[in-house]
Chain A
């Protein structure tokens, strides 16, 4: 039986069905849009390296295996599945992050056939020694590309500074060394452990009939009785691992990333935390903030300076930064100005401005069905409802935002990562 999730005045509805297979299916109907979008995602990301499998065995797998598996599922016995999407006029893609792997396509034509292909190929592993070895070359080039990308390096180093043992400190794609330890056996083990329908979410957005989507998913995905996987995350101390990371690279302008470690919110409070922190980061560091004005006029930041909340299973932090002429000075000034802000408390007018800005941005998100699908899936995999953000944003108060300011920033646990010209 389908359930309707609504967001009142936004005039958007998401149809939901939990299927007999355990698969959670969501459909956002959007008439008038030519593009139809679908993604099939699993709660399995780079952080899920260590887990208890069937039969009570503890598995420790190489870094980057979730991402490797994502690449490899596109390979089938009779060729690469993205060519079959192309033949249907659909563009297929996939991505892996810290807590999820998603397979997706968009198309203006042949949607039912492309959906059927998506539902089937993700369940159909085909790994050989030869095709795994071939993929190592491609993934090595992908990793090298990120090794040369200063934004990626500055963020990766920041996570290593912030976290002592949580696997979020490990690169999503692994390392040139760790991917060499991955073979067909390891890939199959992880596929069996994490690609269980009960661990997965199907999301469709566009001009489609929700019932037809639910029926297609019921036909394509069989009920499976695999026991749920238990992930092992080592306990993460509250303190940071290393306060300062510095790296020389072939860059034109230095970059800095500053992280303020936070205690992860309990599940019951996770959505409110996300919303509150988005507002707080904007109040403190957004274009209309005093801190932004001061740093801008001191010539330490430009328009590319940004702040966001980075959180998932067992980790949470405010992360800010961008290119700057003087990364050390910028990090020091941010800390000084932040402590002034903690001492002064928040101006309720600034919270109201940021609340309005967030509300407007949330409305604008619904211009893009694919972006909604993406955000909705990320939340659904964390058992959060994206549509509930809209009513939450209308009721958030300056007091609760101010409380978070004190909780997170009065005794900061801070790490700084700098990339500078060699």
Chain B
């Protein structure tokens, strides 16, 4: 993919990929804010803003207008990226060639602009009953994480591992901060974000560059931009002298083992491609050591994988195992890391990893949302965005560099959510 960047002011840019490849036009507005105590406000804002606008004063009116535009999709959410919370608004509209009547795009863009900049205000703030309803909805979303055991284990691992750091704040914020938010406080926060947060507007589809730029400028004018706050890199995290172990118990069938390491490397470091290759050999694919050893050879798990957070400099390993297998599984995880550290992997494993990552790089250009998020995350990490340059950097990595990247991993925290998998009873 080839996004063309146009600067629209300080910390504000349009990234356009004008292409007939897709049958829709996709627009994404991404606002970056520091992750921290305000995270629950950041999570609540898109939920309230989606409820309606000054012109469409009931949620059902907005939903009906979007349906008439051939199901134009307008949604918003937050994501966590390093130590930032990104507020993302997403619009996707069928291209006019494939639906009857007028082009739905201009009106859909007007609705997006209204949702972002012309919310329904009452008593100097966002509509209070919407704030109350969405606060309860957000409360349930946060409570619901407990229901997803793999997600919960990852969240708990990070909470324990990075205690006291901004990184430990969950994507949706914390329950205890929820009650503080009111219509007026949210409105003030939102105006501040619109005026000062770094903002990227992405567009993908069959759209003329001049038209796209006009739309983006028009939208941004309504933000009332002032001097933007530059985004700060995530704070470094050092592993403790002795790894920590945390164990919790729940009435569940399968235990979740989540292990955190520090990598000593950031995505912007020149050595990062070696770490990416190392992760591919260790646990990123089904040909990787973790899957092959823990699942295929020893039948201990259904899934066993590793992943890197390049912005914070961490590596995570996740396994779903029967609780009595914990020690054996943990030993295999560390043994396999030691083997990679000693350079004990084949040329075939390196080749499989390279072609696996190269394939992911090319595939990201086959879906509008993925293309946008890949480009956005690479830029945030200060990494090259050109597919060929990325592939070449990985291909140039040597066995010694991979082993050295593995050797820099430090075991930090082992979190185990213990279940009751001992009994092999029938499913209830």
Interface residues of A (CB under 8 A from B): 9-11, 32-35, 80, 82-83, 86-92, 106-109, 134-145, 147-150, 171, 175-177, 247, 249-253, 255, 286-290, 292-293, 296-297, 299, 302-303, 323, 325, 353-354, 356-361, 363-364, 366-369, 394, 422
Stretch at the interface among B164-172, B227-235, B351-359, B393-401: B351-359
Main secondary structure of the interface of B (DSSP, over half): mixed
Return B71 CB to nearest CB of chain A, in Å: 3
B-side contacts of A141, CB under 8 Å: 254, 299-302, 320-322
The count of residues in chain B whose C-beta lies closer than 8 Å to any C-beta of chain A is 77
- A residues near B68, Cβ cutoff 8 Å: 353, 356
| Interface contact B302-A138, CB-CB below 8 Å | yes
Q: Which residues of A contact B426 (CB under 8 A)?
A: 175-177
Q: Are A9 and B98 in contact (CB under 8 A)?
A: yes
In this complex, what residue of A is CB-closest to B319? A141
Interface residues of B in 305-347 (CB under 8 A from A): 320-322
Q: How far is the CA of A79 from the CA of B97 in the complex (A)?
A: 49
A288 lies within 8 A of B140 (CB): no
Known A108-B363, A140-B424, A360-B70; contact A252-B356, beta-carbon cutoff 8 A: no
Shortest distance between the CB of A304 and any CB in chain B (Å): 8
Residues of B within 8 A of A422 (CB): 251
Q: Within the complex, which residue of A109, A144, A296 is in contact with B254, where a contact is CB–CB below 8 Å?
A: A144
CA distance A57 to B420 in the complex (A): 41
A101 and B121 CA atoms in complex are apart in Å by 53
Q: Is B79 an interface residue (CB 8 A)?
A: no
Compute how far the CA of A249 lies from the CA of B251 in the bound complex, rounded to whole angstroms: 8
**Is B427's CB under 8 angstroms from A252's CB?**
no
Within the complex, the shortest CB–CB distance from A109 to chain B, in Å, comes to 7
Residues in A neighbouring B295, C-beta threshold 8 A = 138
- With A35-B362, A253-B147, A293-B60 as known contacts, state yes or no: A82 contacts B67, CB within 8 Å: no
Known: A86-B356, A250-B251. A143 touches B140 (CB 8 A): no
A250-B355 contact, Cβ under 8 Å, with A34-B366, A360-B71: no
Subset of 20 A-B contacts with CB under 8 Å: A11-B97, A34-B362, A34-B363, A82-B286, A87-B351, A89-B352, A108-B363, A137-B299, A138-B296, A141-B302, A148-B149, A252-B145, A252-B146, A293-B59, A325-B140, A359-B99, A360-B70, A363-B94, A364-B73, A368-B366
Give the chain A neighbours of B271 by CB distance below 8 A: none
CB-CB under 8 A from B287, the residues of chain A are 82-83, 86
Cross-chain contact B64 with A176 (CB below 8 angstroms): no
A18 to chain B, nearest CB (A): 29
Contact call B67/A354, Cβ cutoff below 8 A: yes
Contacts of A144 in B (CB 8 A): 253-254, 302, 320, 322, 419, 421
Q: Which 10 A-B pairs have the closest CB atoms?
A: A137-B299, A360-B70, A252-B146, A89-B355, A357-B71, A360-B71, A252-B143, A288-B63, A144-B254, A144-B253
